[in-house]
Amino acid sequence: MSNISRDEIAHLAKLARMNVTEEELDLFVGRLDQVLNEVAKVSEVASDDIPPMTHAVALTNAFRDDEVRPGLSQEEALSGAPAVEDGRFRVPRILGEEQ
């Protein structure tokens, strides 16, 4: 027996503002019934004593610890810049004349 009727599919299509042909209705009934049957199988297996999980295997954080390390000085950072102004990178204006 089907879990979803042709009338229900037509109603859903109308709510979604979809123009569905008679052939498509028949096709969708079969396909959506298959989906609902698979969901029902999963629901049968799901149990309160099985905790929900996001992955099949346990994952651990692979990030390294934060450590303070020396960085570039302002002069070193600006040393390869094509243009410098007031201790900053100088770049061409990309906006109009407004300020």
Please report the pLDDT score of residue 49 as a whole number: 78
Please report the pLDDT score of residue 99 as a whole number: 56
Yes or no: say if 37 and 57 are a contact pair by the CB < 8 Å rule. no
Please report the pLDDT score of residue 24 as a whole number: 93
Please report the pLDDT score of residue 59 as a whole number: 78
Q: Please report the domains of the chain, with CATH numbers, ordered by start residue.
A: 6-44 (1.10.20)
Q: Give me the average pLDDT of each 10-residue run along the chain (99 residues).
A: 84 93 91 90 77 79 87 94 94 75
Residue 83 to residues 76, 78, 79, 91: CA-CA distances in angstroms?
14, 9, 9, 7
